[in-house]
Structure formats: structure tokens, C-alpha cells
Structure 1
Amino acid sequence: MPKYLLAHDLGTSGNKATLYTIEGELIASKTYNYVTKYFNVNWAEQNPHDWWKAVCNSTRELIKDIDTKQIVAVSFSGQMMGCVCVDRYGNPLRNSIIYADQRATKETDKILQKIDAMEFYKIIGHRASPSYSLEKLMWIKENEPHIYRNTYKMLNAKDYIVFKLTGNMATDYTDASGTNAFDLNTYKWSEKIVDIAGIDGDKLPEAYDSTHVVGEITKKAATETGLREGTPVIIGAGDGVCASVGAGCVKPGIAYNYMGSTSWIGITAEKPIYDEKMRTMTWAHAVPGYVNPMGTMQTAGTALAWVKNEICKIETKEAMEKGISPYEIINKEIEKSVPGARGILFLPYLLGERTPHWNPNARGAFIGININHKREDLLRAVMEGITYNLNTIVNIFKNYVPIDSMVVIGGGAKSKIWRQMMADIYNVRILKPNYLEEATSMGAAVIGGIGVGEFKDFDAINKFIKIESDHIPNPAYREIYQKAYQVFLHSYEALVGIYEELAKL
């Protein structure tokens, strides 16, 4: 009888439950969506009850035809940098403030009034920013003191679901390192930073290795999910780090690019990378002894989805009639344009930006439109603008480690034209693995397998992935993209003052 690993990936748009065998075979996956409430320009929240409903429904649908005794572990990947305030019984006291939320600007300023920005960066591995959990909890303390007073623990998305399954409140080192309260040098909560923030350190949960067995499925959870009572639950890791595992980035020398709603570029290193401009961050890795430097932009796939929803309504209607993805038609439109989009640039800052600018007031823009431009040029400019922004991250890491090739995963990696564009703009060989949208759940599955002793180490990921195709940089386009990229950088700098003015409107 085969043994199964059940992995949950709590993403931005929904939860994906995926079943793998311990031999690395993908059996099936089921997704249940939930909504994000965007408001006040750059605020973003989700209801934790929706996550639980998604987990229960996707699990029941996934396992309805198998013997649950064959499931040897349940493990997790989850959106990072959120703030879920729960009481001592685990009840959410308000909606979760998710990673994309940028409201905590004043709280960020308060931190930086008490500690040098670079000193903070070298303790935490991240810069002080409204994106992180600590600043969000500070905002709650200041603006919703009744919620703060009643908060027993601050959790992240997967941690809340782990509690619902086991009754135990905990987190792992990767998610802890995304709170801005975790000392990456000691792997403990930073008393110095917690004190500076004015937060009660007891509200932070105990942190463990990602492979830690945090508990077992309770009788109540078994009834709600259909899982077998007593099944081991592994704490898992944040989605960015799970993606690193799922992309095979488990030792130095391997780089990857995740292309989803957000996008990031990650590598594995023995020590944190401290960029002199603090543009990148370093997470704790799921692999013991290593850290996971990354650069993350806010709206990659989200920017393309905005274009699909607001500009490409004709293409979307046509796709529905043909029973295909609207992105297939959009990609064909993009192919009608040329590298450089005939001089149009798109700044992809629809929800502010993290790497490289760390500016919550940054805004999106089309630049360079003239009467001769066509629809396909606009669409290509969007895809190129996202890639230009990511190219800055690539260039930062190239200052520290050689990057000759890069594994690309996520929904955006389905696009052949986008993969070639990445090769041309990054000037690296782009590698496409057999699984594109399963990397995070696959990483969680490997973590779960190690946690229950089915796998010896993280090299087990090689059972799951193989490279199917690659894209080599086209020298003919290199000069075009180099020139356009420089103008892209100048365009952002030229608009910084305008962004500040717009923020006051």
C-alpha cells in the first residue's frame, strides 16, 4: 500500500491541498479559494475562518477516495509576514492583516527612531517595513488596543491552521524570521527589537525547525477534515521557503525565481547576505545550517492579472468562449510586439513595492506611449516591467554569488514567451521543471516526509523534480533590454516625488 504525504499551501487566493507519494509522485490536488479585502489604497486583510473552511473542503475533496491510514504526515506552506491575533482559545480576534498590507508606516518610523536601520537589518535579516508582522502588531496596539489586550498569540496563516488541527500554538523558524522580531544570528526572538517595538514578547509563539512534529490531528479536527485522528502534523514553513525547497534550492549554487501573485528570487547560502542598500532580505531556511536570501516584489502576477481584468476584457471573453486561459490569448498578443515594447515602459508598483525600493507609496505607470503604439505593446510592456524589476534583484545577488542558470516556477512560468524574456533580461539560462505550480506544496511535502522519518534529508526533493526545458539568452536582444532597463530605473527615481504627492491626495 502506498504511503502519502498531504501538503497544504495557504496562498493569497486560496488553499491548495496536494497529495504526494513518498516516491515523489503527484497524485492529485484540490484548491478552494477565498477572498482578500483590499481597501484604503494599500490595506489588505483576510478572514482566518475562510482559511479553515478552505482547508477542510479541499482536504475532504482530495482524500475522499483513499484510505486515510495511508497518509503518514500533514505539512504546511503558508503566506508569510501576516498578523493573526488569537485569544488563548485560538479564536481570531479580527481579520488577518496579510503580507501585502502597507498601513503600518508610522510604526515603522517609530522603530527607526530607536535603532539604526542597518543595525536592525543585521539582527533580523530584513529591513523595518510595514510589510512585516511586528509592525502590523504595533499598529493594532496603537489603533485597536482592545484587540491587542486580548491577543494571546500572534500567528501566521499556517500556524493558525496547525492550531485548528492539533490544538497547539507554534511557528517555525522561517515564519518567525518573517515577523521582524526574530534574531537570525541566535534563532531566538530578539529581546532588543521586541523592547524597541513596545510589544509583549509573550504574544510571540514558540518557534521550531520546519520539520518539527507539532502535534496530531485531534478528534474534532478529524471530524471536520476527514483526516484520521492521530495523524502527525508537521509545522512546515513559510511559502517562500517551501518554494525554495520545491525548486531544489536546498544547497548553495542553486537560484530560482517564483512567479506567482507576488514574485521573488531566492538562493541558498551559509550566511545572511547584507546588501548595503538593504534591498534584499534573508530568511531562516527550512534546511538546517543554511539561510535563504531573497528579493521579493509585491505585484508580479497580480499586475498581469490586473491588466487581464481591466484592460483585456475582450481577450477574457474570447477565452471563455474557447474554453482556454485568457493568458494564452494575451501571450499571443504580446508576441506581436517586439523586445522593448517599441519604447513603452510599465512600472509594476500597484501595491507599493518591497525589493528593490521599499516604498509603500510607489504607484504603477505606463511611460512613453505615443500615437503609433498598439495594444500588444502595452501588454508586452507590463510583462517586461515586471521582469525589469526582478532583474534588479538578480543583479544584487550576482554581486555576491555567481548565477549562470535559474529554475523558474509558479503560474507565470507557464508562459514560454515570459521564460524567454527572463533569460534575455536576466542574461542567465532559465530552467523549467516538470512541476511549476506545486513547488510550495512539494517543499512542504518533503519537509513533512523528513519530519516523520520517511526521508533522510532534503536531497529527497530530487525524487520529485526534473528539468524539462531551458531557455538561453538571445544576444540579439541584450543591448535593447540593457538600454530599456536603465530607463526603467531612471523612471522610478524621477517619479519618487510624484508618488509622495499622490499619497497626500
Structure 2
Amino acid sequence: MYYIGVDLGTSSLKLLLMDEKGKIQNIVSKEYNLYFPKEGWAEQNPQDWWRAFETGILELLEDYDAKEVEGISFGGQMHGLVILDDHDEVIRPAILWNDGRTKKQVAYLNEEIGKEKLSEYTANIAFAGFTAPKILWVKENEPENFEKISKIMLPKDYIAYKLSGAFCTDYSDASGMLLLDVKNKCWSKEMIEICKIKEEQLPKLYESYDVVGTLKKENAEKFGMNENVKIIAGAGDNAAAAIGTGTVGGGRCNISLGTSGTVFISNDRFEVDSNNALHSFDHADGKYHLMGCILSAASCNKWWMENILETKDYNNEQDKIDKLGENSVYFLPYLMGERSPHNDSNARGTFVGMTMDTKREDMTLAVLEGVAYAIRDCVEIAKKQDIPIKSATICGGGAKSDLWCKIIANVLNIEIKRLETEEGPGYGAAILAAVGCGVYENVESASLKLSKEKMVIKPEKELAEKYNQKYQKFRELYPEMKKLFGKLNQ
């Protein structure tokens, strides 16, 4: 039998076909457009996601028996606001996780409602990317659209709805909406009132491995599958990636270098850091996790390579870099503002320290190092919570770079483990599908069994110390720049 994992990313939709032993049989990727209608805004058309799925699934199964597919599950970009009317039509383009238009609404929530109250209601405070501020923005700026809302969805759940008709979400993805009581796993009545919505406009809540429905007849016929194919709830992309990398149970860590960057720490118990600098979310294994998120990670490298250097030969650019720990150029990777730990949508990408001797390689290295330093910012918050991080798995597009993995190992001064399968969210989603279909007893045992180490990158004592000194300088840059960032965005 086969299990399909759907990774609904920001730049593309990936479909992964896995057999019951956890072996990946095929992967197909379909790109779609990302729109920036105004500075700091980011939107996508949900119909583009569905079209990518429709074409991608046929290609994925072209050389396989579609009747052997038993389950489909999802890992998806979090926080995006998808709204449907009472005819199930998309009302407006989805407002994405990296959209920064909600400064006013975030300030209202954090300052007038109050961070303490928000943390009490949801275990988190407001960030520009979260869903609740987006709902308030639509209410204030597009009242005619707000009045049309019948269903409020997250991106991956739109695909689940189109496939099965199930209006659903899972706890891990719902945790990032600022509408969920994370500790008690239910919608927060206080936040529903604050956002002036109704609970029936919100999806039914499930664990990530729960079956939410089966394939609609018309979809089964279109894709050549059986109608009894199970649709499993799935998870937010980072929680799905954690499943795909064995980051389950207490005290394990995964670093994701995708469009955004995350530090994901699995936790057996519910916990909130004192300043809410890390997100406190439910996990796809049925437990909890803490997460630090930087808004621009591999996207920084893509921007630098393709937009500025106008090349797609990433390896050639990185091969020229030979000296680590000695770069005098620093890069603040805040191209879309920043979330953890600064929570500042005004922050911007910045190079500091160039001289007449600065070379192309120095700038390229600074981008890689800047992302690594920003990830360490999140790790330092975890350390203050007495959470020891001695090693981490790594996934995402950036994890394919040997150089970047080495830099991160030494900046964090921990072992970095690369896995045989680096398809984090898609692989995690396929595992959830298999668990939901009863192939494995539970998520934790399946995740640990199927995630296998390929390589361990150990920090080098001398280089780690050099990077520690560089990081101490890096961490002073944002506080010095904060006021200027605010003025630049007035």
C-alpha cells in the first residue's frame, strides 16, 4: 500500500509517495506564484494550490497503481488566512505567514488586550504572521469581505476540504492562529469574541494522525483512486517536519532551513517561556513543542544568489569560501521583518562591516552566517528556559549545503545530524497518513523507526570559539538598529 504526504509550501507544493515500510517511491513538485501587492505584504491564490495538487497527484502516480493508495495527509505553511463564503468560494487571496501588514492589529492585541491576557488565552502573544491579527485586519480594512466569511481555514486544510469535504484542522497548525487554547486543546472563547467571529466559522479540531474523512467520489474518479482513501488531518509544516526527522517525545530538537527557519523543540509537557519569545504549540505526536521562527532563512540565500548575484549555481558560489570564523561582514537576515525573538515587522535585511577589501565571497558567507546567528538567537532563549540542546537534526532546502550545516554546527556549538531522508514536512505527512491508516501503532514509534541518520557534523573547538565571539557582536546589531528600522518604515 502507498501513503501520500502533501507539503504545501510557500513556493511550491511537493507530493511524496511512501510505501508501508517508509521507503519513498516518488516525489513531484509543482511551483506557484507568490504575490507582493504592497511592500511587506505576501499573498497566494488558494486555487493555485489546488491546481498544483490536481496536476501533481496524477504525475506522482503515473507509474504506480493509484488503487494502492490508502491514505493522504499534509504538512502545510502555517498561519495563512483562507476565507470562504457560504458557497465555498474563496473570498480573497490568502494572507500568508510572512505578511507584515498587521502592525496595527498586533499592537492592539499585545498592548490593549495585553500580552499577559493573550498568553493566558492561547499560550502565545500576537505576531504579525499569526492568523487572528489578519482576521482583525480584514474586519477593519475589508468589511464587505469580513461579512461574507462562512469558513476560516489554514492553507493545508483547504486542500483537505477540497479532497474530502471535511472542514477541519489539527492542533499543531491551529496553535499558530492565536485562536487556540493550546494547553486545553480547544478554541479560545475569549479570542473568538475579540476577533468578532463565531465558533462555527472555525474548523473542527483533530489530532494530526486522526482520520477526518475519505476521498470525494469525483476526486476518486479523477485521480483513479478508491473512494475509501483516508484523509488524515496532518500538521503545520514544522510539526510535520519534526515527525519526518524523529523530533518526537521530550527534549529533541530539529532545525529547519526552508523559506523560513525554525528551531523546533519537542516537549512532553506544556510549557511557556517567560517572555513568549518562543511559540508554545501543540505537537503532531499528541504532545507539545516550543518553537523559534525566523521569517527568512533559505529565502535569504535565494534572494542573494538569484536576485542580487543573478546566478542559480549555489555550489559554485559556496565552493569559493575557504575561511570560516574570520568574516568581518555581518548580515541581519530580516528581509520580511522578524519574528523570534524580536517580534518586529519593521526590521529589515542589512549588511554591516563592508570595506574596500570586501569580496563577493565575504557577502555570500555573511548571508549564511547571519541566518545561523539568528537561529542561535532562538536557541539562546531555550537555554534560558533550562532546556539543554546538545544536538539537532536538520532539514529543508538549506540543509543540502555542507557548508551551511558546518557553519550552523559551529555557531551553535552542537552536533548537527543530517538524515537519509531530508524531505521533512512531506515525509512527516506521509508518516502521519500511515499512522492514521493503522500501519504503525503511534506517531512517536513510527517517527523514530523511520528517521535514520546519514551524517553527524561535529563542531570544531577553535572554530566554535571564533563563531561565539562573532555572535556576541552580531547580537548587538539589532538593538542598535531598531530605532532606525522604525524610522525607515514611517
Match of 1:329 in 2: 316
1:428 aligns with 2:428: no
Conserved 8 A contact 2:255-2:264: yes
The aligned amino acid for 1:361 is N
1:247 aligned to which of 240, 245, 248: 245
Conserved 8 A contact 2:183-2:270: no
Shift of 1:202: 2.6
2:297 aligned to which of 295, 300, 315: 300
Normalised by the length of structure 1, the TM-score is 0.94
Match of 1:7 in 2: 5
Q: 1:6 to 1:374 in 2, by over 3 A?
A: same
1:196-251 Cα offsets, whole Å, 9 max, x none, are 23333332111111112111111222244443323111111111110111110111
Q: 1-side partners of 2:21 and 2:138: how far apart?
A: 45
Conserved 8 A contact 2:294-2:338: yes
1:90 aligned to which of 88, 91, 95: 88
Q: 1-side partners of 2:37 and 2:473: how far apart?
A: 32
Conserved 8 A contact 1:47-1:96: yes
1:415 aligns with 2:401: yes
Q: 1-side partners of 2:458 and 2:308: how far apart?
A: 31
My pick for the range that moved more, 425-434 or 265-274, is 265-274
Shift of 1:337: 4.0
Unpaired runs of at least 5, structure 2: none
Q: How does 1:175-214 map to 2 (within 5 A)?
A: 175-214=173-212
1:18-57 Cα offsets, whole Å, 9 max, x none, are 1001101110110111011023221000000000001111
The aligned amino acid for 1:435 is T
Shift of 1:110: 2.2
1:355 aligned to which of 308, 325, 340: 340
Conserved 8 A contact 1:337-1:377: no
1:467 aligns with 2:453: yes
1:482-502 Cα offsets, whole Å, 9 max, x none, are 221111111111111110111
In structure 1, the residue corresponding to 2:433 is in which secondary structure? helix
Match of 2:371 in 1: 386
Q: 1-side partners of 2:405 and 2:45: how far apart?
A: 35
1:275-296 Cα offsets, whole Å, 9 max, x none, are 22321101111112x1011100
My pick for the range that moved more, 170-179 or 293-302, is 170-179
Conserved 8 A contact 1:410-1:439: yes
In structure 2, the residue corresponding to 1:176 is in which secondary structure? helix
Normalised by the length of structure 2, the TM-score is 0.97
Conserved 8 A contact 1:125-1:272: no
Q: 1:194 to 1:462 in 2, by over 3 A?
A: same
The aligned amino acid for 2:270 is P
2:229 aligned to which of 228, 231, 234: 231
Match of 2:353 in 1: 368
Unpaired runs of at least 5, structure 1: 317-325
Q: 1:473 to 1:113 in 2, by over 3 A?
A: closer
Conserved 8 A contact 1:121-1:128: no
Q: 2-side partners of 1:276 and 1:457: how far apart?
A: 32
Q: 1-side partners of 2:398 and 2:110: how far apart?
A: 36
1:331-383 Cα offsets, whole Å, 9 max, x none, are 112x2343231x11000000000011110000111101011111111110110
Shift of 1:416: 0.9
Q: 1:413 to 1:113 in 2, by over 3 A?
A: closer
Shift of 1:265: 0.7
Match of 1:43 in 2: 41
The CA RMSD measured in Å over matched residues stands at 1.4
The aligned amino acid for 2:308 is I
2:387 aligned to which of 401, 415, 421: 401
Conserved 8 A contact 1:403-1:428: yes
Q: Which runs of 4+ in 1 moved over 4 A?
A: none
Matched residues, number? 488
1:419-460 Cα offsets, whole Å, 9 max, x none, are 111111101011111111x11111111111111211101211
Conserved 8 A contact 1:257-1:265: yes
Q: 1:308 to 1:17 in 2, by over 3 A?
A: same
My pick for the range that moved more, 443-452 or 267-276, is 267-276
Give the percent of matched residue pairs that are identical in Structure 1 and Structure 2: 32
The aligned amino acid for 2:401 is S
1:163 aligns with 2:167: no
The aligned amino acid for 1:165 is L
Q: 1-side partners of 2:473 and 2:292: how far apart?
A: 21
1:309 aligns with 2:306: yes
Conserved 8 A contact 1:171-1:206: yes
Conserved 8 A contact 1:37-1:44: yes
1:297-324 Cα offsets, whole Å, 9 max, x none, are 00001111000112322x43xxxxxxxx
1:456 aligned to which of 441, 452, 477: 441
Shift of 1:90: 2.1
My pick for the range that moved more, 425-434 or 468-477, is 468-477
